[in-house]
Amino acid sequence: MINRLKQAVQFADALNRTVGQVSAWLIVGMTLATFATVVLRYVFGLGWIWLQETVLYMHGSLLMLAAGYTLLAGGHVRVDIFYRDWSEERKARVDIIGAIFLLLPVCLLILIKGLPYVFDSFGTLEGSPQPGGLPILFLFKAILILMPLLLLLQGFSQAARSYLFLKGEMSRLAEDDTSSTHD
């Protein structure tokens, strides 16, 4: 049981770390597409809706896909004025309670409300409402399902890691993430 829980934690951490690192490359794409948009518009007098939407889709994708990684890295907002001075045991208990009573309900709400929205979009292969826009809005909307799933997975990992820490079976920090501050 303990070994399987450790493996699940390692899998969740690895998946969200990989998704976070891959999605970080969207920053490069956004920068290049934004630069191209500005140069084309102000130097050549050209403007394309699809290029502007590309920047928006990359930006939204980056924010949503990296949410699980941000939780792994300790980058989500918490009331650090209290949390930072607490013992590791108390932090572990708070992390378990937060994952169960705050993160889980919010992610489930996003899934419950988002699934019909995404399914409708896929059913019509929804594209941009703008003339000349990208015909793949339905794919972008699918990220509304991926985000809470990745967050739920990382929340489970955080709660399981805290549980294992309280049992003396695992460090509270990810093995290869000792440079990150979790307080």
> pTM for this structure?
0.86
Q: What is the pLDDT of residue 179?
A: 41
Q: What is the pLDDT of residue 83?
A: 81
Contact indicator for 110, 148 with CB cutoff of 8 Å: yes
CA angle at residue 17 from 14 to 23, to 5 degrees? 135
Q: What are the 10-residue block averages of pLDDT along the chain, 183 residues in total?
A: 92 97 96 97 95 97 96 80 86 93 96 96 96 96 97 96 92 54 41
Q: What is the pLDDT of residue 170?
A: 81
Q: What is the pLDDT of residue 173?
A: 64
